[in-house]
Each structure stands twice: as structure tokens, then as C-alpha cells.
Structure 1
Amino acid sequence: MDSMHTMEQLVAELNKYNYHYYTMDTPLVSDKEYDVLYDQLVQVEADSGIILPESPTQRVGGELLKGFEPHRHLSPLWSLDKAQNIDQLRNWNNRVIKLVTDYNSKNPDNPLPDPCYAVELKFDGLTLNLTYQDGRLVQAATRGNGVIGEGILAQVKTIKSVPLTIPFSEGTIEVQGEGIMNLSVLSNYNLTAAEPLKNARNAAAGALRNLNPKATASRRLSAYFYNVGYSDANTFANHREMMDFLRENQFKVNPFITYFENFDDVTEELAMIVESRSGLDYLIDGAVIKVIDMETRGVLGYTDKFPRWAVAYKFEAEETTTVLESVSWEVGRTGKITPVARVEAVELAGVTVQNCTLNNIGDIERKNLKHALGARVFIRRSNDVIPEILGKVTEDNDGEEIEFPTHCPSCGFPLEQKGAHLFCYDSLNCKPQLIGRITHFASRDAMDIDTFSGMTAELLNTELDVSEPADLYSLTFEDLVKLDRFGEKKANNLLQALEKSKERDLASFLFALGIPNTGKATTRMLADHYRDLNAVMAATVEELVGLPDVGGIVAESIVSFFADPFMRAGIDRMLTLGVQAKAPEAPRVVSTDSFFSSKTVVLTGTLHKLTRDEAADKLAALGAKVTGSVSAKTDILIAGEKAGSKLAKAQKLGIQVIEDEDEFIRLLEM
């Protein structure tokens, strides 16, 4: 009896922690503390020979299944009619209004309310239908044909955001949702997978229809829920009540759900979702618009295929297939060789795509693309960046081989492989590396040399033999004015910009040097810690690894960079020519009584009176913790112009939002 009591306590406690971690995104304990309790439960179960149905140990997947059993849904799972554009969406709404008006004219004593609408994301995963009896999960099934699906209970139990028991224990209910694989989880999975997955939708669907639940568990799926399709003991007056019921019963409900009385507001919300879509960590292929009132839904009813009270608004695809035509190899400023794919032109997410990234030779091999020239491949475009090739459509060797280069495509120097990448180490003579380093040195976040560009760097290299940043500070008016497309005004502007850049601070100078494996955060930390260029250059590996966020690789990169005689000579030359690399001002005392003290703050969108870095520095000086993502732990969101998904999530979570930049600045100055 004692072991049973211990087991019940552990199961309840671990399930509570699972709910807060996987559903609410608000962990209550550390992973280590959770693991201690989990191991204790495993031991109690082993000693007693008893396992409770709702035990979290049952989520890891059991024995290989022999096949899927058919499951008849208690209530049909309907498909949705589709609207491909706003005009079709308005036509749907006009039909809704007409039907409501017709009903009200015939039933003046009991009229329906004016239609109001819910807008939800349309997930691109696999539909799930969960059955609970007296509060326990007893079945999970695919949609199938809408009437009969396949039982996949063992697979769905591996999804940690799916509750095995719920507080509602009055009879039987069916809950619908979508099983998905987060894009970040897919990316991490593919880093070590023997067979990388091609896209998140297929990964989720394949996992849930895998007869080995352990394989399902390995893909760390998630699920969002959006409908109660059947209940023999509960009814809802409207969609809000239904969503509240799901949340109260520990189902994961996506925060991006909004309600509107005016249909024009619906179309504005759809435009915002399209804009923020690329920032989501999961695939969506549209949005679903639903009439909120349940009585109205009953009156509107169904066609042979679709409910009349809901419609799916389809977005332009972010994934498609096309033919891989060729691969070229580009040299970066660090000597890294990057493959760039040329594909058969295809329309994707509103643009014509012809070039795609392949990352590196390891990426080509992991994605089974070594023999893919001329073959059809999956591509994905998001966040307005160059699209990525995800993998081949078929598993056959039905294409020509991609030849990996052995010598630098620019200078002909023999290449070396380091990890998954190829490198050219002829850094002093390889033209793309020279131009890349100079362009980076002059960039806005580095020395901020106004009017400078990659084309300028190439022209200076070709015509004036400018091959390192130090050469920039030896340029004269006579050198520049004789160049093609350089008049007196442009020559003077560049010389003035170079002179002004000499005053840039130490953090900017360190970033401009392009030290391998370091970014802006690291170089700023080095400047703040050492406060002197000579001290940074003299730092040892042992010293550096003791600093925040500096590991062995970064420390070795910094020490090796400053040990290079060529780099040291260039730095000494710049200092002789007037570059100051000024140490930061004396560190300010962090305020403990400001409006932002001890608050977690997220910045998003475009600010016009401050740069993002300036705003972050001011917040830090006032005792705020500035982070990059919105969660339940966020206290304040600063939303500039064109704020997207972070603003929407903050609004759904009830987080304080400051959208007026003048008000933000006023609070900073309080």
C-alpha cells in the first residue's frame, strides 16, 4: 500500500511538471530534479510490478505493434471548404450572413445573433482524435475518412503535451487536434539522424503511423487542440467556452486564436498571420475562420462534405518540389566553401526561386543529395531568406553525382575538410576572402564606414591592391579620384567616413576584425571585461574560458587569431594610422529602482529613435534582462513598427506591451 501511495504521488507530481513544461512552457523544476523523480518512479514500478495507466513512464513507447486497428469516431471529423483568396472568403461570409438573415426572418421570436468569428492557425501536421472516458485517455485515432480512422493510442501517448488524464470525468468526450513536429526539433533531430527527415509534416505523420512507438517517441512530437467533437455530458454556448474547457483540462491550445465581431478585422488578422508566419516554430498552411456561436453553427449545418460555419483560408505554399539543375561553390571571408544550388525556376511563397542553399558537403550527404543533379527535390522558403533544399523526393539514385571540389574555385589552393565544411586556407591570396574581410570590417555593426559596399571593396582590391583593412587607412584623395565611378565628392565622402571610423569603440573594432567563432555579443563582452585592446590580445585560453559564454573552441579561436603575425601587424598598422579602438566608458551602476528593474523584456519590430542595440543597452543599465523570445516569463514587450509574431504571442499571453516609442523612451528616462 505504501508503494502504491508513493507511486500515485510521483505520477501526479511528474504529470504536473510535464503539463507546465510541455503545455504551458513554464517549467517548475530543473531537468535534473525531474529526472531524479522519474528514476524513483521507474524503481517503484519495477519493485512493485505495478504501472498506473497515466504513468509518464508509458510515454516512451512499448513493444512493436502488429498493425493498426480501425476506429469509428463517435462524431464525424469534417473536412473544411477552402478559400484561396479574400474574395472567396468574403463570398463564404456573405453566404453565412444570408443564411442567418433568412433564419431570423422566419424565427423573429428567437433570432440568431450577428455572426462573430474566431480565427485560428491551420496546422500542417496529422489530425488527431482523442477519446476520453471518465477522464482517462482510452483511444487516439487518425482522421481516416472522417468516419473511421486508425487507432494510434500507443503512438500518441509518446506526445508529452497530450494529457493521459483530465479533470473532466463525466462520461465520454472526443477532442480533435493536430500532431506536429516543431521545426527546431526537426533541425536538431537531423543533426544526428542516420536518415534525415525531409520536412516537419511528413516527419509527424510518419512518426504517428509508425508501428514502433519508440520511433515515434524519438521524434519528440507536440500537439495543439482546437475542438471538442463529441461529449455526452457537456455542451458549450460558443467557441470561447470550448477553448476555455480545453485549457482547463490541460490540453495545449495555441495562443494564436483571436475573436472578431467585424469581418474586416478578420482579413486584417489574416494579413498579420501571413507576415508573422515565417517566425513560427511549426508549419502552418493557412488559417481557419469559424462562426463562434454554437446555436448558429447548428442552424447553418453542413453540406455533404463541409460545415457551413467554418472555412479554411489557404496561404501560399512555403514548400514545394523542383529540379536540381547545378551546384556552384562560393568562397566566404573565412575561407569556408559553401555550395549554392541552381534549381528549375518555381513559384514559392510569392517569389520566383532559382537559387537554394545547401549549407555544406555534410548537408549534401545527410540529405541523400550526392546523386541528385537532374532529380526532383523538396525546397522550403521562410523568413525572406534564400530557400533551403530539404531532400530528394525519391530515395533512388536517379540523378547525376554532385562533384565536391578538391581545390579552391577562386585561387586554386588545395582545400581541407574540417567537420562538414571545406576550407581554403590561402587567406592572404584568395580574392573572395580578402574582399569579404574588408567588407565585413567596414559594415554597420563593425567600423560603420559610410557608403562602403562589397563593390567598393572589390574595386579597391582590383585597382589599388587593398588587400587588408589596414590598407583602407593609407588611401589618399589622389588614389580614389582616379578610380572608375569615383568623382571628387565620392572620394572625399569615403575619406571622411574612414576618418570618422577611427573613433569607433573597442567592441566594434574587435567585431570588425572578424575573429573566427565570435559574434557581436562575444566581442562586446571582451571589450567590457578587458577594457583594453592589448589586454584582449594578451589573454590566454585559460583566462578566456572563465568568461561568460566562452567555451574552449571560442577561446582557442581568439588566442590563435591574435597569435597570427599577419593579423598583429595589420592591427599595429591601423593603430599607427590613427585607429583608436577606444575602451568602453566606465561601467554604469545598474539601477535597482527603475520601471524596468528586474523585468524580463523583449524587443521586436523597428524602432526609429533608438537602434535595437541602444535600447538593449539602456534596458540593461536599468536592471532589465533583455531576451530574444516571448514566453510566460516575459514581463514586457517593446513593439516597434512591423512587429509580428512576438507581438501576437505577447497579446495572447496577456503580457504588457509598449507600442508607443515615445512612451518607451519616457520610461527609460524616469
Structure 2
Amino acid sequence: MNMQELVDYLNKTAHAYYVLDKPLISDSEWDRLYDKLLSMEKETGIQLETSPTRRIGGEPLSHFTRHQHLNRLWSMEKAQSIEELNAWFDRVTQAHSKDESLPPLSYCVEYKLDGLLLNLTYEDGKLVQAATRGNGEVGESVLEQARTIQDVPLSIDYKGTVEVYGECIMRLSALHKYNETAEEKLKNARNAAAGALRNLDPKVTASRKLSAYFYGINYIEKAPFDNEEGMLNFLVENGFPVVPYFKQSSNKEDIISFVKEINEQRHLLDYMTDGCVIKVCDINTREHLGYTDKFPRWAVAYKFEAQQQTTTLESVSWEVGRTGKLTPLGHVSPLYLSGATVSRATLNNMDDIIRKGLGIGATVWIRRSNEVIPEILGIVDDGMSIEPIIAPTNCPACNTELVQIGANLFCPNREHCPRQSVGRIVHFASKNAMDIAGLSEKTAILLLEELDISRPSQLYSITKEELLRLPSFKNKKADNLLSAIQKSRHTSLDAFIFALGIPNVGRVNARVLAKHFGSLDNLKNASEEELTSIDEIGEIIAANIVDYFSDESSLEEVQALLNAGITVEENNTDESTLLLSGKKFVVTGTLNNFTRNEVQDKIISLGGEAQSQVSKKTDYLIAGENAGSKLTKARKLNIPVLSEEDFLSMIDPAHKIDSYTENEIQTIQNEKKIAKDNEQLSFL
């Protein structure tokens, strides 16, 4: 076989294995042919565009580029109860009845997968672009990352221009397998997939073994189908794995039964699904029903309630954090809940335990919502005898007598408690602080036990010879850690403030402090009165900051860090001309394209202020799904509420972001409507 024939054969057999689950050749034979292709590419210096060797990931990118989608990728109207779903059926029926030429209504139901949307562009049968959703009109190009996903066809039979979109996910089995050997374990499948696809290094994407299912065509020159089933068949014929659940009926009661069926069975799936999507099947009817400013009228997403089950509380352990605060952790009989095996749940403090009437041996209700840490809601009064939970009197890590401050227990042995030392180092090295890649909790424990590294400043004197004496450390791992430590020597003021670990000073407050004071010296010399004059800095935080910089050991550590060669970039940016200058935002709920931290970073980078709580001074609330009490309070205070899409439109990446005036922001918000008379077809 020549190179092209070998590439075609390997792609065909890989598709049969990964997508169809029908292997055509043995693994050893596939590996032999793959190695043969690698040799041919090395000898000739040629790598074909569709070569499977591209799936391992190339060199890291310096930044993401923007991609203009050929058609708008719409958001989805949501229904969170059967009543809301029936109201949607009524609206569709009423609109449909106005045109007698339309075929009878028929609906289809599909899984709503919980991952990150991926939009693929093909020209002349070749994959030429891949992008995230972004604001629906402009996304981030992730072509090199998408090439590493086995489910993404590098070439298709259809030769026209077409945009196909679906969901990039990480299977729960893949997450479990990854975490078995990973030094830094991934917390949940959705964030693992989103983080991998939006990682500048395609090799990271490849290492996560992502999957993808496709369910829509955003643009096509000549559609060879006229309904949803035909569209899905078109995708299958061109090598795309399609969303695994598809049922249709003209009877809305059938549709509701399908919805209930999915909800009952979703815990058996190997991927996360947080709901289902109901669509009108006929494409001509969709065009008749049209769109609102945000949603297609012909589709709705039904969201499932958070899953909760009963289990037994077997024991309670007490975790010591970096500030010395003890947090009780409930250990429960393992159960499968919301796509994961749950065996632990966080409890707030002893007051929380007493209020909920918890005890060892109690049958408890446990809930896991949106993949956050499971929560014990309370006990089931089943008459079973339970053993009372006793609060500790001494630190479980260093045996120092505990002190109680408010509702919480604290270990006062700040300098010599090993769990506090490890916690401070892990926090110092975290991504939003000094960003020392590879310095996990496991590594921090090793450094403490083997090299007596108990303070962050000591990291900067570690040698390669010392690291090589540690278990599991080889040349490459040692070099990588030393390189990351060296890279962290130059940092921003806000990152350094956050890295210090001052109690209650989170990353948002660190940005606020850096913006206000401009230098570390100014912050060190600030009084409580000056600190409390800043929005977002209350009396407790102000007192903690003053206490920190009045403490001799803290000042010695800060000076030791500076003496170790850390340079802190002062915040001298004139933010008065930036897009969001002077505007205060609160971000809440679950977002689709970004984490809340990423949105807060964007707000601050554009001159705005990211607040943690809604108040009369808040200008905007950015609300994702399950927004809760902050959304309720914002509505009571008549604070404008923005969806994720509204916010992205406000900071439209197609324009120069630092050149807007406040009037132009308002103009952007008023121009969200797009033309509905596009000659091309847009499908969901």
C-alpha cells in the first residue's frame, strides 16, 4: 500500500473500532500498520492531512484564534417541569395551526449531553476548522485539539461546505481510567472535557481520550434531507457518531414518557446527561416557527432535577485546611449518583451536623447537583439507632489542642502542622496563584516528608539532585517541576496576593486589592479603615489582611519569597478607558462555555469589578443555569440580568475590546437580533 492507501485503511478500521464498535482487524495488526505509516512519514517528511498520526497532538499553540461560524449557533429554551414542557407544546401547536400547508406535527427526543459544544467545518470533504460555541456567532478555533478526538472524522464523503456540531464529552469510564494513574486527578467529566478541548497543548487533549456525539448541522449548501431523522442518517453516512438516543412521535404524551424514560435510565450511561432535547422533526415547519432573539421556537431543553438518594453515614473524619480550619467529611456507603460513585460528602461544621440530626449509622439523604461535591441534606427517620458524632479536641494532623472560633474549630499550630504546611504550598502553586504545574498535593507531601519543605519560599532552593532522590521522580519529571518553579518567579500582583493565602482573600478580592493599591508595599501599609472603604472588602477581610502583614512570620515569608528572586509586576494599567470600566458584575449558576472564574477574569481584564455577592451597587448579574438566590435578589433589586450569551455579546470579540464607550456597550446590547432571512439552512 502507498501512503494514501495506508492512511485510508487505518482511518476505516479506526472508525469501525471507535465509532461502530465493530473491529475489523486485531489491535496488534493495527499497531503494526500504524508504525509502518510513522516510518513512511519520517522517511518522506510528508504527513497527509487525514493521517491518523495527527491525532496524537502537535506542538502547543501560543493562543486561540477566533472563528466566525457560518450560521449562528443558537441557545436553547429550557423547561424544568412537565408543566413548562406542556406550555411549549401548546405554543408550537398554536403557531403550527396558522399554516394548513404544513405536515402534521411530529416531535423527536434526544439526549442532552453534558459537555462542550464542538462545531466542525468541512470543505470538499476535508476537516478545515473546529471551534467552540463562544457567543454563538464567534468561537475559539480548536482545530488541532479536535483532530486528536477519534470520533471526529478527518474527511467525509460529502464534498460541499458543511458545518456539523455536537457535544465533546469525556466518558465516565475514560475519566476513571485517567484518574487511576494521574498525579492530578480530574474532578468531573464535563470540566475534564471542556478543559482538554480548550487547552493550548493538543497533547493534553489527546491524553484525555475524549469522545464526541453529533446532533446538528449548522450550515449546508444543499440539504439532502427534510427532517431530523434524515439529517441524523446523513451524519451517520458521513462517519459521524450521532447522539445515542432518538425517538419520535406525533403524540406529546409519548414524548413525555420518553423524557421520563431517559431520566430513569440516565444513571446507567457511561456519560453525563443533564436532560433531553425535544424538537419539531420537520425542517420546513421549523422555518415556519422561526426564532426568538435567543432561541429557536421549534426546540426545548428539558432539564432534570438534581439526583438524590438515601445511603448510610458510616463515619466522619476531620480535614485540616491551610488556614487550620477543620471541616468534617462524611463517609457514606458507596452509591452511584449523577454519573459517579459517591462515597464522601462535605459537612460544614459541628453546628451543621447537630442541625441536621446526623449520627453514625443514620440513613441520610444525599444530593449531587451539577457535579459539585455531594451534600448530605438530612436523615431519614427510619427508627434505626445512631451513634452521636463527637467533635475532636485535638488536631488529627499534629495533635495540638484545638480552639473554637465562631462555629468552626481551628488548629493554632500554624508553623508546624503538616496538613497546614501542605495546604499552603498546594495553594501557593495553584493555577490562579503562582501556577506551578505539577506541584500536586501528593508532591507537596513528598517535599515535606523527604526534604522538609514546609514553606513556599523553600521551593525556590530545591535542586535537581534532591528531587531525584524522591520516589517516582525521574529526570523529566524533575526538570518539568524545576522549570515550572523557575517560570513562576515573575508574576502579577493579584496572583501573588492570592498565593499568600491570606484568610478569606480569594482570587476576586486579590484582583480588587491589586487594582486599588497598585503595589505590594501599598497593600502592606494599608489600614483597616482604608481597606473597608473598598467595595467587596468587608471588616473581616480587612482585619485578616492587617493581621497578616502585622505578623512577623508572615512578613518574613513574604520577604523570603522576594529574596528568592520573585518579581511582582505592579498594577499600573489605566483602566478608565477599558470596555467595562467602573461596572460591577456578579457571576452565578452553571455556564455553558466558560467557568465562572474565566468570566470573572475577563470582567477584570476589561476594567470591571467581579463581586461575590449581589448588592445595590451591582450593575449586572450574569446568570447561568440553576442560578438560585442571587438571581432572586437581583430581580428584587431590579438589577439587569445577563445570560452568558448576553455577556459575550457585550464584549463582542469581533471588535477591539478596549475601544468601546458606555454608549457603545448599550448599542451592542440593543443589536442582538440577527437576520432571519439567511438563504442557507440552520439546524439544531
TM-score, normalisation: structure 2 = 0.48
Structure number with greater Rg is 1
TM-score, normalisation: structure 1 = 0.49
